[in-house]
C-alpha cells in the first residue's frame, strides 16, 4: 500500500468506526467529553467495544486531531479531546457551537482567506496532499491563540473528500517570535528616525551654507554692475564674486562626493606612483600655503615602493582634504608637513603605508575630537574665525579610509597643532612596469580644438584661452569635431578640449572615434574633457573612452593650464 492509500485506508477506517458507534446509538460527540463509559458494553458488543477503544485512543494523543469535509460546507466530522482543550471547550457541543461546526468558523476571520488560499496552493503542489498553515483562533473565553495546522487531504470514493488535521497550540512560541519582531521593528523605526533627522540636519545646513556664497555672488555682481564706471572697484567686486563662486563649487563637489561615496561600488585598483601623486597635490596646494607664509614640507624618504595599486581618485581626495585643512587651520607663518612612510613588506606584495599630515595650527579641543569625523562637525572657533567650510571634508576622508579598509587617527592640542595619520594596506606593483603610452605633442604654439555645443561657453573659453596665447578652433558637437580631426593634417591640433553632453554626437563617443582613427598622429591627440558631469561614473566613462583628463565645469583656468602643460610640451 502506498502512502496516499495508507492514509485513505486509515481515515476510512476511523470514519467507519465512528459510523458503527453512531448506528448503535452511541453519541460520539460525548466520547470526547469523557462521559461514555466503556463498561456499559457487554461482551456481545465486542466490535463496538473495539471501535470505542480505538476512537477513545484518539483522545489520548497530546495534540488536537480533527476531520472535516473538504467540500463546500467544510463541516467538522470529528474532533478529539485535544482540540476541545485548545479551544477551551468542555464538550463537543460547545465546540460545535463556537465554530459553527465548520473549519471556516474555526479559523480567525481575518486569517481565513489567506489560510484557505495557502492550503489549496500547497495541496496542489504536494505529492502527498499535505499542507502546513498557521492561524489564529478564538477560544471560548474570547482569548486569541496561535495554532499550527498540519493538514492532509484525502480523496475517498467511500466517504468523499475530507481533510484530517493535527493541530497544535503554538501561542508561546509565537508570542516570543512576535516580541522579537516587535523589537526588530522598533529598532528599524529608531534607525529610520535617526536617518530622517540626519537628512533634515543635512538639508538645513546645506541650504544655509549654500545661500551664503550665493548671496555674495548676487550682491557683488550687482555692485560690480553699479560700478562699471570705476574699473578697479568693479574688478574688486567681481573678484569677490569669483571667490564666492569657488566656495559654492567646492560645496557642491563635496556633497556630490559624499553621496557618490555612500553609493559607490568597491575601490578601483589603479596603477599609481604614491610619491608622485602626493608631490603633485603639494604643488597644487603650495600657492595656498605661500599666501599664508606657511612653511610647507613633504618627506617621502621612507618610501621604498612608490609604485602601488590603489584607488587613485579616492586617495587623492583623501590626502587633498587633509592637507587643505592643515593649511586652512594654520595661522600665517606656521608649518605644515606631510610625511609618507612604508612598513615592512607583507605577504602577497602588500605593505602598510602611513600618510601623516601635521600642522602647527589652531588645534582641536578634546570634545570636538570625539565627533570630528561626523558630517557637519565644525569647531565653533573655526566658524567664528571666518574660515568657510561645511564640515564634510573629514567625513569624506573617513568614508574613503573605511572604503579602502584603513584607519585614520587624529592627535591634536589647542593652540599647538594637529596630526592626522592615515594607515592603509596597499599592494606594491611588480618591479617591471610597462611605460604608459602618453603621446606628447611638441609645438611652439599650441593649437586647440575646443568642442562645446553651448555658444556662450565656446565664446568665454575661446577668449580666455586665446588670451593665454593658444590658437583656438572650435566645433559645436562631437560629430563636427570628429570630422575636423579626420580632415586635419598631423600637427593641426595639439590638444582637444571636449564637452561631454552634446547633441548629434556626445563627447565620449567622439573621443572613442578619434582614438580609433587609423592615423596614430591623429588618434593620439590628447583630449581633456571639460564637463558638468562630475560624478565618478562619468570620470570612469571618460577614462574608458581614451580621454586623458576629466575636468569639471565651471572651468578652473589655472587647473586647465596645468593639465595642458602636462600633456603638451612646447619647443
Ligand atoms: P570644514 O573644514 O569644511 O569645516 P572638515 O570636515 O574638513 O570641514 O573639518 C571639520 C572641522 O574640523 C573643521 O571645521 C575644523 O573645526 C576642524 N579641523 C579639521 N582639520 C583641522 C586641522 N588641521 N586643524 C584644526 N582644526 C581642524
Residue 83's pLDDT is what? 95
Task: Say how far apart CA 225 and CA 398 lie, in whole Å.
Answer: 43
Is 523 near ligand 1, meaning CB less than 6 Å away? no
Tell me: the pLDDT tens digits for 215-239? 888 888 988 998 899 999 899 889 8
Best mutation site among 254, 258, 364 for ligand 1 pocket (most ligand atoms within 8 Å of CB): 364
How far apart CA 288 and CA 387 sit, in angstroms, is 14
**Ligand 1 contacts CB of residue 151 (under 6 A):** no
- Residue from 330, 336, 338, 379 whose mutation best tests the ligand 1 pocket (most atoms within 8 A of CB): 379
Ligand 1 and 398: CB distance under 6 A: no
Among 104, 138, 169, where does a domain finish? Answer: 169
Q: Are residues 419 and 294 in the same domain?
A: yes
Expressed as residue numbers, the domain containing 545 is: 447-567
- Among residues 140, 169, 198, the one where a domain terminates is 169
From the CA of 373, give the closest atom in ligand 1: 6
**CB-ligand 1 contact for 382 (6 Å cutoff):** yes
User: Is residue 226 in some structural domain?
Assistant: no
Q: 100-135 burial, b if ≥16 CB within 10 A, otherwise e?
A: ebebbbbbeeebbeebbebbeebbeeeeebebebeb
Q: For residues 317 and 461, state if they share a domain.
A: no
CA dihedral sign, ordered 343, 400, 244, 204: negative
Strands (E), 20-121: 64-69, 76-79
Q: How many residues are recorded in the chain?
A: 571
Mean residue pLDDT across the chain: 84
149 touches ligand 1 (CB under 6 Å): no
pLDDT of residue 349: 84
pTM: 0.45
Instruction: With cut-offs at 50, 70 and 90, classify the pLDDT of residue 42.
Output: low
Q: What is the DSSP letter of 268?
A: P
Instruction: List the residue whose alpha carbon is closest to atom 9 of ligand 1.
Output: 391
Q: Within the chain, what is the greatest distance between any pair of CA atoms?
A: 131
* Co-location of 401 and 453 in the same domain: no
Q: Are residues 424 and 454 in the same domain?
A: no
Nearest CA to 77 out of 28, 138, 110 is that of 28
Q: What's the pLDDT band for 38 if we cut at 50, 70, 90? A: low
Which mutation among 327, 365, 367, 372 tests ligand 1's pocket best, with the greatest number of atoms within 8 A of CB?
A: 372
Inter-residue contact 440 to 568 (CB < 8 Å): yes
8 Å CB contact between 556 and 253: no
**How many structural domains compose the chain?**
3
| pLDDT band, very low/low/confident/very high, at 39 (cuts 50, 70, 90) | low
- Strands 270-273 and 144-156, by their bridges, are unpaired
Structure letter (DSSP) for residue 6? H
Residues 520 and 557 both lie in one domain: yes
Q: pLDDT band for 21, please (50, 70, 90 cuts).
A: confident
Asked if the structure places residue 156 within a domain, the reply is yes
Q: pLDDT tens digits for 68-94?
A: 998 778 899 999 999 999 999 999 999
Q: Tell which atom from ligand 1 comes closest to the C-alpha of 254.
A: 3
Does residue 262 sit within a domain? no
Going from the Cα of 390 to the center of ligand 1, the distance in angstroms, rounded, reads: 9
In the predicted model, is pLDDT for residue 51 greater than 90?
Answer: no
Per-residue pLDDT averaged across 55-69, rounded?
A: 88
Per-range mean pLDDT, top range of 32-41, 176-185, 277-286: 277-286
Q: Which of 65-79, 398-412, 458-472, 500-514 is predicted least confidently?
A: 458-472
Residue 207 has pLDDT above 90, yes or no: no
Q: Is residue 93 part of a domain?
A: yes
pLDDT average, residue stretch 363-383: 72
Percent of the chain scored above 90 by pLDDT? 39
- Answer yes or no: is pLDDT of 387 > 80: no
Statement: residue 421 has pLDDT above 70: yes
For residues 505 and 470, membership in a common domain is answered with: yes
CATH number at residue 153: 3.30.450.20
- What is the reported pLDDT for 385? 44
**Do 401 and 480 share a domain, yes or no?**
no
CATH number of the CATH domain containing 505: 3.40.50.2300
**Ligand 1 centroid, distance to 368 Cα (angstroms):** 10
Question: Packing angle between helix 274-291 and helix 312-328, nearest 10 degrees?
Answer: 30
* Residue range 422-430: mean pLDDT, rounded: 92
Q: Which three cell numbers stand for residue 514?
A: 578619434
Q: What is the pLDDT of residue 267?
A: 81
C-alpha triplet 458, 563, 551: angle, nearest 5°: 55
Ligand 1, atom 20: closest residue by C-alpha: 325
Average pLDDT of 277-297? 88
Choose the weakest-confidence range: 142-156, 212-226, 262-276, 472-486: 262-276
Quick one: pLDDT at residue 94? 94
Tell whether 263 is covered by a domain: no
**Pocket flag, ligand 1, residue 326 (CB < 6 Å):** yes
Output the nine-digit C-alpha cell for 407: 584607519
- Clarify whether residues 390 and 462 are in a common domain: no
Claim to verify: residue 364 and residue 282 sit in the same structural domain: yes
Measure the CA–CA gap between 151 and 130, rounded to whole angstroms: 6
pLDDT digits (tens, 9 = 90+) for 344-362: 877 778 899 999 999 999 9
Ligand 1: does its nearest atom lie under 6 Å from the Cβ of 372?
yes
User: Of the candidates 535, 530, 524, 464, which has an alpha carbon nearest to the alpha carbon of residue 488?
Assistant: 524
- Of the pLDDT bands very low, low, confident and very high (cuts 50, 70, 90), residue 122 is confident
The reply to whether 386 and 476 lie within a common domain is: no
The residue whose C-alpha atom lies closest to atom 19 belonging to ligand 1 is 325
Q: What is the distance, to the nearest Å, from the Cα of residue 73 to the centroid of all Cα atoms in its chain?
A: 52
Judgement on whether residues 356 and 454 belong to the same structural domain of the protein: no
Ligand 1 in contact with 325 (CB < 6 A)? yes
Sign of CA dihedral 213, 215, 217, 220: negative
Amino acid at each position: 500500500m502506498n502512502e496516499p492509500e495508507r492514509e485513505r485506508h486509515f481515515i476510512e477506517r476511523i470514519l467507519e468506526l465512528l459510523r458503527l458507534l453512531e448506528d448503535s446509538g452511541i453519541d460520539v460527540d460525548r466520547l470526547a467529553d469523557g462521559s461514555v463509559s466503556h463498561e456499559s458494553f457487554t461482551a456481545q458488543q465486542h466490535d463496538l467495544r473495539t471501535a470505542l477503544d480505538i476512537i477513545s485512543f484518539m483522545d489520548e494523543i497530546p495534540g488536537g486531531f480533527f476531520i472535516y469535509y473538504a467540500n463546500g460546507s467544510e463541516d467538522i466530522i470529528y474532533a478529539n479531546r485535544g482540540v476541545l482543550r485548545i479551544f477551551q471547550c468542555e464538550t463537543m457541543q460547545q465546540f460545535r457551537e463556537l465554530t459553527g461546526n465548520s473549519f471556516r468558523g474555526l479559523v480567525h476571520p481575518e486569517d481565513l482567506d489567506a489560510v484557505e488560499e495557502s492550503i489549496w496552493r500547497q495541496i496542489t503542489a504536494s505529492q502527498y496532499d499535505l499542507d502546513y498553515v498557521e492561524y489564529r483562533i478564538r477560544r471560548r473565553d474570547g482569548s486569541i491563540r496561535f495554532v499550527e495546522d498540519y493538514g492532509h487531504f484525502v480523496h475517498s470514493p467511500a466517504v468523499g473528500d475530507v481533510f484530517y488535521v493535527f493541530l497544535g497550540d503554538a501561542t508561546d512560541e509565537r508570542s516570543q517570535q512576535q516580541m522579537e519582531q516587535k523589537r526588530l521593528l522598533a529598532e528599524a523605526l529608531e534607525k529610520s528616525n535617526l536617518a530622517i533627522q540626519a537628512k533634515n540636519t543635512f538639508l538645513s545646513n546645506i541650504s544655509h551654507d549654500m545661500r551664503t556664497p550665493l548671496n555674495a555672488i548676487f550682491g557683488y555682481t550687482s555692485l560690480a554692475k553699479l560700478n562699471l564706471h570705476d574699473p578697479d572697484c568693479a574688478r574688486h567686486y567681481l573678484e569677490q564674486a569669483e571667490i564666492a563662486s569657488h566656495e559654492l563649487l567646492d560645496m557642491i563637489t563635496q556633497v556630490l562626493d559624499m553621496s557618490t561615496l555612500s553609493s559607490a561600488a568597491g575601490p578601483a585598483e589603479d596603477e599609481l606612483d604614491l610619491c608622485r601623486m602626493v608631490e603633485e597635490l603639494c604643488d597644487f596646494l603650495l600657492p595656498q600655503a605661500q599666501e599664508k607664509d606657511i612653511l610647507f614640507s613633504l618627506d617621502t624618504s621612507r618610501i621604498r615602493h612608490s609604485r602601488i595599486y590603489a584607488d587613485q581618485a579616492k586617495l587623492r581626495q583623501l590626502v587633498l582634504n587633509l592637507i587643505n585643512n592643515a593649511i586652512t587651520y594654520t595661522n600665517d607663518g606656521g608649518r605644515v608637513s606631510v610625511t609618507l612612510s612604508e612598513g615592512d613588506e607583507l605577504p602577497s606584495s602588500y605593505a602598510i603605508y602611513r600618510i601623516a599630515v601635521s600642522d602647527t595650527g589652531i588645534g582641536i579641543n578634546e570634545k570636538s575630537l570625539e565627533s570630528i569625523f561626523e558630517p557637519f562637525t565644525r569647531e565653533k572657533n573655526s566658524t567664528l574665525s571666518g574660515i568657510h567650510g561645511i564640515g564634510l571634508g573629514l567625513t569624506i576622508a573617513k568614508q574613503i579610509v573605511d572604503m579602502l579598509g584603513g584607519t585614520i587617527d587624529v592627535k591634536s592640542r589647542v593652540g599647538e597643532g594637529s596630526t592626522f595619520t592615515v594607515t592603509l594596506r596597499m599592494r606594491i606593483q611588480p618591479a617591471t612596469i610597462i611605460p604608459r603610452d602618453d603621446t606628447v605633442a611638441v609645438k611652439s604654439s599650441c593649437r586647440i580644438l575646443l568642442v562645446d555645443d553651448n555658444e556662450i561657453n565656446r565664446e568665454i573659453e575661446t577668449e580666455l584661452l586665446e588670451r593665454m596665447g593658444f590658437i583656438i578652433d572650435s566645433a559645436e558637437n562631437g560629430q563636427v569635431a570628429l570630422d575636423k580631426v579626420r580632415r586635419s593634417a598631423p600637427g593641426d591640433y595639439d590638444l582637444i578640449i571636449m564637452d561631454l553632453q552634446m547633441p548629434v554626437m556626445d563627447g565620449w563617443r567622439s573621443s572613442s572615434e578619434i582614438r580609433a582613427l587609423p592615423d596614430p598622429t591623429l588618434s593620439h591627440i590628447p583630449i581633456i574633457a571639460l564637463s558638468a558631469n562630475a560624478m565618478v561614473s562619468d570620470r570612469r566613462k571618460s577614462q574608458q573612452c581614451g580621454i586623458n583628463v576629466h575636468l569639471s565645469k565651471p572651468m578652473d583656468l589655472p587647473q586647465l593650464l596645468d593639465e595642458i602643460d602636462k600633456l603638451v610640451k612646447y619647443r
